[in-house]
Structure formats: structure tokens, C-alpha cells
A and B are shown apart, each in its own frame.
Chain A
Amino acid sequence: MHRVLLPFEFFEPTTIKEVVNLVDGDKVRVLAGGVDLVLKMRRREIVPEKVVSLQKVPGLDYVEGNGSAGLKFGALATLRQIEQSEVVMQNYALLREAISKIVSVQTKTMGTAIGNLCVATPASDIAPPLYAMGAKVKIMGADSEREIPIEEFFVDVGKTAIGPHEIVTEIVVPSLPSGSGSAFMKLSKTAEDIAKVNAAVLVTLADGKCEDARIAVGSVAPTPVRATKAEEAIKGQEMNEKSIKEASALAAEAATPISDVRSTAEYRKEMVRILVKDALQKAAERAQV
């Protein structure tokens, strides 16, 4: 860790258009909250020629929507803002539960949700909920705008689908079906550490049976992943101990973890099963309320 940063050219444009005209792959870095960027610059993991701040661009810090129209938040919406927003609290409890597991108030106050996604860490706590809820990522280029499913946004560790001359401007979360329930689980060494394994589950119940299930796990592959086999196994079933046990065993198959300082691959795989089991149980209970 270095005490000081290496010099760079600094830009504070006031429109998205100017930002997009400045960004140019890895040589130019976009500053939102800075928690990850400045840390990596201290470590010399990132040594940009130019840093472009979004902070002077007005109108990017919104969190808006409602239960029926969906949820939208902009590039400068902080984790704390999203966690405390009324619409998230009322209608997108899964996202709120995930953010509550990031414990540092300062990190949540400075850090933006979109910044967290752009870092593309497999351990992101907000990515699995967004996978489970089927979120879309709005990406802006100089003359283009596109919207892609979040599952196509994450490409590899630290790698996203953002082109060299593009930035992410918004996340769009569709409204959730009635009768749905959700749960987020995180396992970490200490409450402040990043996840060894995390899991987000969204289930929809109808007539006592699981009509739809979306299960996403993090920190167990180069990107967050959907546990599709587990989803298929639980769909159409009554959500009881037996069906949940069978589905969660299949969830572990989606995981291709590595061993590192936080955990061994074997342990992570086993914990996927446990976390998904607990999350399915909790989500089913919540759906019935």
C-alpha cells in the first residue's frame, strides 16, 4: 500500500456526453464514490493516465420507482441512499437486505451501487439480488445507448461488458410478481469482510406451490451465477423441507469456486448448498406473509 497516489490528469465534466467523450478503456478511469478506485490506485493496481469524475454531472443520484413500475437508480446513487430509500424498503427488500450486509456506513455513504457493479468483483453483495430480480444495465456511448441483462454485464473477474468508450448510467429493476418472497444470505470471515459465499433467492408462490424461482450465488465463480438446475428443481413443487433440500443440493453444481485466503473451494461449494437452503426457506416463509 502506498501512502500517496501517482499523478494523473483530472477532469470534472458536467454532462454525460463529455464523460463519454473522455473515457478510453483502462487508461481513463471513472470516479464515482472512489472507495474502490482510490484504494486500487494506492495499491498501484490501477495507474490511470486520466481520472474522470462523475460527481459534477447533475441528476445521476436518483433512486426512484414504485412497486408496479419497477425501480431505477443512477450512476451516483450511493449504497446508503438505496438502502434507505422508501421504494426499496417497501418493494425491493432483497436489495435492501443485501446492502445491509455491507456494514461500513462510510463505505455505503461514499460507494455507489453502479460503481460496485463496474468493479465486477465476484464477491459483490448487490449483484446476486440484481440477478435474482432480473435487473438490466443501461450503458451509454458517444452516440449510442443500450440496455443489457445484468447476467451479460458480468464477463469475468474485474471484467464487464462496458466498451472502451462507454459508461453505465442506470440500473433498471422490473417490478416483482405478487406472491413473491426473497432472501439474501452472506457468509464472511467477519461482518466487515467481503463474502466467502453469498446467495440471493426470489420465489413466487401460487396455490401453495413454487411458481417461479430465481437463485443467484456470488463469490463462487468468476462472476455471480444463477443456479438454474436448482431453480428448475423447485419450480412446480410445494416448498417443503424435502424439495428445498433437493434443490439446494443442485445449487452447489452451479458453483466453480477457487481456494483463497478466505476459504477453500470445497468449503465454498458446501456453503452454497447451506446458504441456498436457508435462503429458499426464508423466501418461502416471507412469500406466504
Chain B
Amino acid sequence: MGKEIANFIVNGNEYDAIIEPHMLLIDVLRDEIGLTGAKYACGAGDCGSCTVLIDGKPSFSCLTLAVTAKGKNILTIEGMADGNTLHPIQQAFVVSGAVQCGFCTPGMVMSTKVLLDENPEPTRGEAKTALAGNLCRCTGYVKIVDAVEVAAGTMRKGG
């Protein structure tokens, strides 16, 4: 298998991109498809900034071969908002002051989505466990955990 035109389903939209087997998903998302929400930071699976959901599973896009994500449902931070209306998780991050430099935020939001899909009423401890694979260099963790609680509350009310 060499160069090929591959079909990616990102946030419900289909994109064709010319890829080679050694290309990483994050590079295809950012450079070929133009979705720069997922961030490249450590490149080693430590920080979680590049987290996207592949078929609902939180994945490091910087350690995923793009070729293995063909045809799967990929959700990035760009797919969270509904037009101009922020997703309740995004809204919670804004109102809780959980965004400082913002670089970790897309990954944090994606990991929060995974948590709340599985557990709509997490404790603060469960929120921390769920976000353990996402680092915030601004160290704004308290407000990030606050945001998870706020988001959980809104979503339970159907917001």
C-alpha cells in the first residue's frame, strides 16, 4: 500500500485526502483537511492535546496512523458546537474560567465528552481520573474540574 486517496469522516463530513501509510492522523486533520482544533504538543502520548474521538474512543491523533482511521467516525473539537451555539461542555469551560492559554482545552473537552457519555454524574474524583491523560501547563485543573461539574449539571437538565 503506497500513496492513496483516502476518505475520512470527520464531524459527520466526508473529506478526501491523499495520504501515505506513514502519515499521522493529526497531520492529515490539520494540514490536509484544515481542522486545526486538535493540537500537536508532546507528540508522545503524554499530554493529550491531540485527543480526538475515533468511533467514540479517545485517541491520541499524534500516535495514530491516518491510514488506520479511514472510514471511521472521527470527532474533533470542531464538531462539538452546533453552528454558533457552543456545546454545553464548551460553554461550561468558558463560564468556569477553565480556559487559560487554551492549548489543552480541545483535548480536555474531548475527554470530558467521553466521561459524560459514560457517566452523566461524575464525582470530582471521577472527573480527575477521566482527565488524567490531559495535561494543562497553566495548571488550571481546579477550574477544569469545576467545568466538568457544570457541564454535567447542564447536560443532565437536557441543555
Please say whether chains A and B are actual partners in one complex.
Answer: yes
Q: Give the total of A residues in contact with B, Cβ under 8 Å.
A: 29
CB pair B21–A10 under 8 Å, yes or no, is: yes
* Interface residue? B84 (CB, 8 A): no
A4, CB-defined interface residue at 8 Å: yes
- For the complex, is B79 an interface residue (Cβ under 8 Å from A)? no
Give a binary string over B33-52; 1 marks a CB under 8 Å from any A CB, 0 the rest. Answer: 00000001001111010010
* A9 CB–B CB distance under 8 Å: yes
From known contacts A5-B22, A10-B1, infer whether A105 and B67 are also in contact, taking CB-CB under 8 Å: no
**Residues in A1-52 with C-beta less than 8 Å from chain B:** 1, 3-12, 31, 34-35, 38-39, 42, 51
Nearest CB in chain B: distance from A56 CB, A: 9
Q: Is B20 an interface residue when CB atoms closer than 8 A count as contact?
A: yes
**Is B64 on the interface with A (CB-CB < 8 A)?**
yes
Choose from A12, A51, A53, A105 the contact partner of B114 (Cβ within 8 Å): A105
Q: Which of B22, B68, B114 contacts A7 (CB 8 A)?
A: B22
Q: Which of B24, B51, B63, B111 contacts A35 (CB 8 A)?
A: B63
Segment at the interface with A among B93-101, B129-137, B139-147: B129-137
Complex interface: chain B residues within 8 A of A260 (CB): none
Q: Indicate with 1 or 0, residue by residue over B96-111, a CB within 8 angstroms of chain A CB atoms.
A: 0000000000000001
B133:A8 contact, CB within 8 angstroms:
no
B65 near A107 with CB under 8 A, answer no
Which of B22, B40, B51 sits near A106, CB closer than 8 Å?
B51
- Among A1, A34, A103, A109, the residue within 8 A (CB) of B65 is A34
Binary interface encoding of chain A residues 191-202 relative to chain B, with 1 for a CB under 8 A from any of its CBs, else 0: 110000000000
Q: Which residue of A lies closest to B56 (CB)?
A: A109
A169 interfacial contact with B, CB 8 Å: no
Query: Which single member of B22, B58, B114, B132 contacts A103 (CB below 8 Å)?
Result: B132
A3 vs B44: C-alpha distance when bound (angstroms)? 10
Q: Which residues of B line the A interface, CB within 8 A? A: 1, 20-24, 27, 40, 43-46, 48, 51, 57-60, 63-65, 67-68, 111, 114, 129-133, 135
Known A-B contacts: A10-B22, A106-B133. Give 14 more (CB < 8 A).
A4-B27, A5-B24, A7-B20, A35-B45, A39-B44, A42-B44, A51-B65, A103-B132, A105-B131, A105-B132, A106-B48, A106-B59, A110-B57, A192-B46
Question: 14 pairs across A/B with beta carbons < 8 Å?
Answer: A1-B43, A5-B22, A8-B22, A10-B1, A31-B65, A31-B68, A35-B60, A38-B64, A39-B63, A42-B44, A106-B133, A109-B58, A109-B59, A192-B46
